[in-house]
């Protein structure tokens, strides 16, 4: 049991970190194809991180220890959250993936990123942190409602148990999961700073949110921030993917099932990246004051799920 748990912790964390840069590049590649461009090489995300890790760290003279610690705290909380979302196989130990604790870890990581954005005292950093916290105040209740709907349908707050339920059942047994999937998709778009909420590929004052918060980070600290964003995107994608499409997820720690599980997850990430890339290409950036209308869609799907479950 202990060996199984240690193996799970190591493999799951390493695989999530390893595939995160690829997942981020895949979306850029799909967006480029939809716009008639070639796009970056598939390994560009790894090249960028390698280049940043070799660069010198430069701090603003106005920054404090918060700026120096925030990248480590941010990646640390997100790696802890990644342990709760099985990607390579389902652990035999129970109670390892409480979804409420998962949300707390995600919010804490975001808090330290926003704090680092404010710490240097720059205009852009403060603007990005202010916008991020304003959006968080609106999207957090939506996220909690979506998660509550998910737990309501699957009768559990433990993420591995949720995955085991859908793996041993089928989507036909839980049709309301489709509504929850729409809700979670919107939450992923917001939390990972994608179009139409944010645009991670721009540095324009009118559109920056996430990029403004990390504008003062340099070298390896910026690499950690970029990697933590990739990890966050991967574990949120894994949560949605393994809820609605758990095919291939290993239920034990055998070598062949784990290899199949990793390959199937990579294929599912590719599919999800195509969906996100096409979705972003079809959308324009929404004005900030109109974003609550977009968030309300997720809230509607979550409430509809709970109502349908109560009436069933």
Q: Is a pLDDT exceeding 90 seen at residue 241?
A: yes
Output phi, psi for 125, to 5 deg: -60, -45
Distances (CA, A) of 242 to 93, 156, 235: 18, 15, 10
pLDDT for 207 equals 72
pLDDT band at residue 33, thresholds of 50, 70 and 90? very high
Please tell me the distance from the alpha carbon of residue 208 to that of residue 221, in angstroms, as a whole number.
19
Q: Is a pLDDT exceeding 90 seen at residue 15?
A: yes
Mean pLDDT score across all residues of the chain: 91
Mean pLDDT of 148-154: 93
Of all helices (H) and strands (E), which one includes residue 131? helix 123-154
Mean pLDDT of 240-254: 91
pLDDT band at residue 142, thresholds of 50, 70 and 90? very high
Q: Is a pLDDT exceeding 80 seen at residue 209?
A: yes
pLDDT for 92 equals 84
pTM attached to this predicted model: 0.95
Of all helices (H) and strands (E), which one includes residue 142? helix 123-154
Of these ranges, 22-31, 69-78, 133-142, 211-220, the one predicted with the greatest mean pLDDT is 69-78
pLDDT for 237 equals 95
pLDDT for 181 equals 95
pLDDT for 193 equals 87
pLDDT for 50 equals 96
Torsion 34-38-42-46 (CA) sign: negative
Mean pLDDT of 44-62: 94
Mean pLDDT of 177-182: 94
Mean pLDDT of 268-286: 90
Name which of 48-62, 120-134, 155-169 the model is least confident about.
120-134
pLDDT for 45 equals 95
Distances (CA, A) of 204 to 134, 157, 170: 19, 40, 45
pLDDT band at residue 291, thresholds of 50, 70 and 90? confident
Alpha-helical (H) ranges within 155-254 are 159-168, 177-191, 210-213, 219-244
Q: Is a pLDDT exceeding 90 seen at residue 56?
A: yes
Check if the beta carbon of residue 211 is closer than 8 Å to that of residue 202.
Answer: yes
pLDDT for 106 equals 95
pLDDT for 23 equals 92
The label of the residue with tokens 């890339």 reads 277
Q: Is a pLDDT exceeding 90 seen at residue 3?
A: no
pLDDT band at residue 10, thresholds of 50, 70 and 90? very high
């Amino acid at each position: 049991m202990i060996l199984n748990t240690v193996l799970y912790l190591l493999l799951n964390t390493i695989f999530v970190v390893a595939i995160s840069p690829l997942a981020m590049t895949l979306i850029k590649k799909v967006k480029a194809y939809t716009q008639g461009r070639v796009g970056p090489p598939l390994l560009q995300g790894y090249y960028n991180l390698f280049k940043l890790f070799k660069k010198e760290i430069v701090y603003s003279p106005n920054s404090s220890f918060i700026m120096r610690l925030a990248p480590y705290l941010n990646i640390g909380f997100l790696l802890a959250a990644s342990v709760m979302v099985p990607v390579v196989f389902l652990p035999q130990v129970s109670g390892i993936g409480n979804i409420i604790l998962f949300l707390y870890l995600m919010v804490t990581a975001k808090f330290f990123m926003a704090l680092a954005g404010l710490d240097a005292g720059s205009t852009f950093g403060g603007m990005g942190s202010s916008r991020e916290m304003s959006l968080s105040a609106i999207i957090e209740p939506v996220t909690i409602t979506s998660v509550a709907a998910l737990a309501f349908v699957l009768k559990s707050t433990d993420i591995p148990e949720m995955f085991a339920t859908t793996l041993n059942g089928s989507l036909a047994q839980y049709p309301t999961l489709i509504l929850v999937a729409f809700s979670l998709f919107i939450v992923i778009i917001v939390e990972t700073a994608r179009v139409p909420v944010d645009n991670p590929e721009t540095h324009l004052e009118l559109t920056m949110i996430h990029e403004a918060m990390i504008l003062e980070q340099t070298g390896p600290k910026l690499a950690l921030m970029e990697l933590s964003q990739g990890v966050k995107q991967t574990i949120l994608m894994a949560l949605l993917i393994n809820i609605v499409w758990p095919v291939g997820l290993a239920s034990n720690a055998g070598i062949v099932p784990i290899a199949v599980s990793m390959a199937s997850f990579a294929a599912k990430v590719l599919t999800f990246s195509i969906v996100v890339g096409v979705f972003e290409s079809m959308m324009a950036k929404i004005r900030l004051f109109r974003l609550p209308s977009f968030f309300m869609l997720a809230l509607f799907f979550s409430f509809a799920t709970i109502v349908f479950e109560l009436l069933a």
